[in-house]
Structure 1
Amino acid sequence: MALTGVLRPGHIALRVLEMGPALNHYVDVLGLIETARDDDGKRVFLKAWDEHDHHSVVLREADEAGMDYFGWKVDSNATLKKMAADIEDSGLCEDLQWIPSGEHPGTGERFRFTIPTGHVMELYAEKVILGNGCGTDGPNINPDPWPEGLKGIAPSRFDHALLYGDDLDGTVKLFTEVLGFSISERVVTKDNPDFMIGTFLTCSNKAHDVAFIRQPVKGKLHHASFELGSWEKVLRAGDILSRKRVKIDMGPTRHGITRGETIYFFDPSGNRNEVFGGGYIFYPDKPVITWYDETLGPAIFYHDRQLNDAFLSVFT
């Protein structure tokens, strides 16, 4: 099935307390590549090595850590206009506005809106293609498997985010009925299977492109995640984090949910990052996987099968 509508996560904008330490973390340790910055240096734009579009991470210096917004790339300007109208007609979102072309470097106009969990989302159709540096005869001519000069952990892409918010039902309704996402996995109470504690949503053939956990808060970030591709690379990431004296939150371990291999750690501002590999291929006819609240231990940490309260309660 050809991907249409919302194609993938396009960018995440994170607030950091100091730009210098943040750039050391995201460039030298995580291994993202700087592509642009504002004249005043308050925002810096980054990409992972195998992303062709101009940027996927925006860092903004602020007084409080967390996520400013999450951007989704759609397949065309016609889709952008239609989805903007559908979002408005749904009545599920607030603070609807158009962000003009060029407000992000190399990016067309964006449609921004606040979803029921309080997170700011945006859709866009156009972003300048920089390439991945693998082609010596041109961006996509006779390419090598990876470029020279990669730093640190070097994930291939920004992959997903896990977000905390209160109105999970309204947000799931928006993503499934308006934006065309599918539910790949869900966490429910055993006594009431219709009451979702968490949901994992995909617009592609990945296990998830975004996930939400029901919490009595608005607009909070649990983690931003970057893809590595293999268990071996996750273990190598653990070695790099230890060598660089970066605080490891959990892992390396495996999730029951999505089957991904994972390690979690924090940037200098307290934003949680994840790098992961594995998972499964999703197709729209795949049955939804259900986890009960009493099995959250193996659902989140499959190896030791135990919940970690700090992992659940720390967010920005």
Structure 2
Amino acid sequence: MTTPHNPDGRRDIAHVGPIELYTPVLEESADFFVRLMGLRAVHREQGSVYLHTWDDYQSWTVRLIRRDRAGVGRTYLRAASPEALDRLTAAFDAAGPDRTVVQDVYNLGDVHVVTDPDGHELGLYWDVEWYRADDTDRPALKNQAAAYPGRGANLRRLDHVNYLTADVTGTAAFLGGVLGARCTERIVKDDGEPQAIWYSLGNKTYDLVYTEDWTGHRGRLHHVAFATDTREEILRAADVCLDAGVHIETGPHKHAIQQTFFLYVWEPGGNRVEICNAGARLILAPDWKTISWAREERAKGQAWGLKTIETFHTHGTPVVEP
């Protein structure tokens, strides 16, 4: 594996920032996130809508972009400091990926754009506009970004992004060696090669996940995950989606890997959305040892709940033929 650019354990990425999702039905997807998931529409541009989860300190959390097919656009990663951003860009330049700088991202400063080995676009940044609540969503507590919406699933924040990748091994080297992330858990195949990897950027159990793409295609999305405060809100989200006719793929159940309590649904554009309660587990040990799960352990299924359904292993966006 590539030697990390921060071998002393320093974290140069603070957290996953905003993300972009493609959808062929922009208004329907926006309605799903606002009316059913509890996000707030904060800005519009030609062909896109910006949404905010109620306790995101940044001015926006998700940008929905009208495209012919669903999928994931750019994922933004906030550096831990201006100096950290300099170290990260130097690490990218040394590793060889092309890097460009853009200055037209809504409420972000200079964004350094690179791609991971699978072709997913990442944007590194430091300068950011913080969310400013107005009289319609001003919180009673000033250490909270906005008032609790009390609407639908009440998604509090973006939790993680799970990509599909044709090259799990190469992606793992990139995450550990260039980004300085650490692998907390992984699935290994019979030959010992990784099939799926969970990487942490800070003290959360995981932020970026990559799963082997059974189709062999590159640049696809498995799901994007949002966190709620409680498990009860996930149960309520299932009722909300049922009443609205949203496709509930599977759950609520509990994963064995990372112990996440989850519900998976498909938003109207076709992207898989996970509603989860993953914040109870933190990785506080600086010398955490990666947990590996073998095929026979995975065959046992979830920690509890029903067996994983077939579409969870086959559906990704954009949808492609194998």
Return the TM-score normalized by structure 1.
Answer: 0.89
2:84 partner SS: helix
User: Is 1:73–2:85 an aligned residue pair?
Assistant: no
Match in the other structure for 2:94: 89
Q: How far apart are residue 78 of structure 1 and its match?
A: 2.5
Q: Is the 8 A contact 1:6 1:72 kept in 2?
A: yes
Matched residues, percent identical? 25
Match in the other structure for 1:99: 102
Letter in 1 for 2:60: H
Q: How far apart are residue 294 of structure 1 and its match?
A: 2.6
Q: Is the 8 A contact 1:36 1:44 kept in 2?
A: yes
Extract unaligned runs of 5+ from structure 1. Answer: none
Match in the other structure for 2:65: 60
Match in the other structure for 1:250: 250
Q: Is the 8 A contact 1:298 1:305 kept in 2?
A: no
Match in the other structure for 2:290: 288
1:26 partner SS: helix
Q: After TM superposition, list the pairs within 5 Å mapping 1:1-316 onto structure 2.
A: 4-38=11-45, 40=46, 42-91=47-96, 93=97, 95-100=98-103, 103-131=104-132, 133=137, 135-136=139-140, 139-140=142-143, 147=147, 149-189=149-189, 191-193=190-192, 195-215=193-213, 216-278=216-278, 279-283=280-284, 284-298=286-300, 301-304=302-305, 306-316=307-317
Q: How far apart are residue 88 of structure 1 and its match?
A: 1.7
Structure 2 distance, partners of 1:67, 1:192, is 31
Structure 2 distance, partners of 1:311, 1:47, is 27
Structure 1 distance, partners of 2:182, 2:148, is 37
1:159 partner SS: strand
Q: Is the 8 A contact 1:229 1:276 kept in 2?
A: no
CA deviation vs aligned residue, 1:34-77 (integer Å, no higher than 9, x gap): 12111x2x111111001010111111001111001111111222
2:99 partner SS: strand
Structure 2 distance, partners of 1:37, 1:255, is 36
Aligned residues: 303
1:238 partner SS: helix
Q: How far apart are residue 296 of structure 1 and its match?
A: 2.2
Return the TM-score normalized by structure 2.
Answer: 0.88
CA deviation vs aligned residue, 1:109-136 (integer Å, no higher than 9, x gap): 1111111122111111111111565544
Letter in 1 for 2:251: G
Q: How far apart are residue 298 of structure 1 and its match?
A: 4.1
CA deviation vs aligned residue, 1:164-221 (integer Å, no higher than 9, x gap): 01122221111112211111101002x333x000100001111110100122220110
CA-based RMSD of the aligned residues comes to: 2.2
Q: Is the 8 A contact 2:250 2:308 kept in 1?
A: no
Relative to 1, partners in 2 of residues 1:59 and 1:196: Cα closer, same or farther, differing over 3 Å?
same
CA deviation vs aligned residue, 1:110-163 (integer Å, no higher than 9, x gap): 1111111221111111111115655448x44xx6x9725442111110111111
Q: How far apart are residue 305 of structure 1 and its match?
A: 6.3
Q: Is the 8 A contact 1:256 1:298 kept in 2?
A: no
Letter in 1 for 2:42: T
